[in-house]
A and B are shown apart, each in its own frame.
Chain A
Amino acid sequence: GAGVSQSPRYKVAKRGQDVALRCDPISGHVSLFWYQQALGQGPEFLTYFQNEAQLDKSGLPSDRFFAERPEGSVSTLKIQRTQQEDSAVYLCASSPPVGAYNEQFFGPGTRLTVL
């Protein structure tokens, strides 16, 4: 079956540009997560959706970061006015309906490079 997909896989942006990263979760998965993985580090939590509701955005590093999941399926992470420190791999994960232990299934990530 299809796993979590992310697009684009690679994105190069000039400092100050806006970017949009897309995540297609596994069909039927209620929960969706975004993580940021800097070079040589473990992933760090950014935000979490249950269906279309954003239940936790405590990990978003600044108000330049915005995520949405309007129909409870596809999600977009938007970064405005990108800075060099935003360069990282952005990982999306989805997990089955609430009530099951939350094994999260990860996509391949989008590698963002800000010049």
Chain B
Amino acid sequence: AQSVTQLDSHVSVSEGTPVLLRCNYSSSYSPSLFWYVQHPNKGLQLLLKYTSAATLVKGINGFEAEFKKSETSFHLTKPSAHMSDAAEYFCVVSDWGFGNEKLTFGTGTRLTIIP
């Protein structure tokens, strides 16, 4: 069975300061991990993905995440927040390489940017 836990339901940061969104995962296999972003009234967009290559993954819009197997974590970071980053972020796990194609989403973290 696979699952993810997003440790914060809501994060607020000031514009220009670092962003940290926390995620822990559970998987029976070596998982694939993703972060998706959902802006209001828009579809889900893939930010970045980890699929057993480099443990530090760079994504779009300056986001990156580090896979830490010992801590079962996949936290999302960005050095400097921008107003356009305000959205809902989902940590996602998949066992796709082991015959299970579905994505399992966390409950989401709402990121608010303070001007």
Chain A: residues with CB nearer than 8 A to chain B?
3-4, 31, 33, 35, 40-45, 48, 50, 55-56, 59, 91, 93, 95, 101-109
The verdict on B101 contacting chain A, using a C-beta distance below 8 Å, is: yes
Q: Is the CB of B102 within 8 A of A59?
A: yes
Closest A residue by C-beta to B36: A106
Q: Contacts of B42 on A, CB cut-off 8 Å?
A: 108
The verdict on B77 contacting chain A, using a C-beta distance below 8 Å, is: no
Q: Is the CB of A31 within 8 A of B46?
A: no
User: A56 vs B44: C-alpha distance in the bound complex, in angstroms?
Assistant: 22
**Residue of B94, B102, B105 with most partner-chain A CB within 10 A:** B102
Q: Contacts of A3 on B, CB cut-off 8 Å?
A: 43
Interface residues in B, total, Cβ within 8 A: 22
The verdict on B103 contacting chain A, using a C-beta distance below 8 Å, is: yes
Q: Contacts of A91 on B, CB cut-off 8 Å?
A: 43-44
Min CB distance A61 to B, Å, is: 15
Chain B contact residues: helix, strand, loop or mixed = strand
The verdict on B49 contacting chain A, using a C-beta distance below 8 Å, is: yes
The verdict on B112 contacting chain A, using a C-beta distance below 8 Å, is: no
Closest A residue by C-beta to B44: A106
Q: Is the CB of B102 within 8 A of A101?
A: no
Chain B: residues with CB nearer than 8 A to chain A?
32, 34, 36, 42-46, 49, 51, 90, 94, 96-97, 101-108
Q: Contacts of A101 on B, CB cut-off 8 Å?
A: 32, 49, 51, 96-97
A102 and B43 in contact, given A43-B105, A44-B105, A48-B101 (Cβ under 8 angstroms): no
User: A31 vs B45: C-alpha distance in the bound complex, in angstroms?
Assistant: 18
Q: Contacts of A56 on B, CB cut-off 8 Å?
A: 101-102
Our pick among B43, B94, B106 for the contact of A42 (Cβ within 8 Å) is B106
Q: Is the CB of A109 within 8 A of B43?
A: yes
Closest B residue by C-beta to A111: B41
Q: Contacts of B32 on A, CB cut-off 8 Å?
A: 101-102
Q: Contacts of B44 on A, CB cut-off 8 Å?
A: 43, 91, 93, 106
Q: Contacts of A93 on B, CB cut-off 8 Å?
A: 44, 103
